[in-house]
Amino acid sequence: MKTKQETVIRGIACSILIEEITETDPSGRHLFTLSRVYVLDAAGKTLVRQSRLPNASETLKREIRRDGIQVFHKLQKSAKLK
C-alpha cells in the first residue's frame, strides 16, 4: 500500500513543497520511504533535495520552524545551482 503526503510552506518569493511517499507490504511492514523537496516559484517546480530516510520531511519542517526564512534562501540558491 502506497501513501503520499504533501506539505506546502508558503514564502514571499517562493514556496516549498515537501512530498513524502511511503510504501508498505500487505502485512503492514515498512518497505521504503521517499521524500522530495521542491521549490515552487515563477519558473515552475524545481527538485532541490531527495532522501530515502524515514521522516526526512519532519527534519526539514523543524529546520524551517527554527531558522525561518534562511531555509528558503538556502533552498532557493541550491535550486539555481542545479
Task: Provide the percentage of residues in the chain whose pLDDT is more than 70.
Answer: 89
Q: Report whether 37 contacts 49 (CB < 8 A).
A: yes
**How many domains is the chain partitioned into structurally?**
1
pTM, two decimal places = 0.73
Beta bridge pairs of residue 18: 7, 37
Phi-psi region of 28 (alpha: psi -120 to 50; beta: other; left: phi over 0): left
Tens of pLDDT, residue by residue over 20-40, are: 899 999 998 988 889 888 888
Along the 82 residues of the chain, how does pLDDT read in single tens digits?
A: 888 989 888 877 778 888 989 999 999 898 888 988 888 888 888 888 888 877 777 877 787 778 776 776 776 676 665 5
Residue 61: strand, helix, or coil: helix
Q: Which domain holds residue 73?
A: 2-81
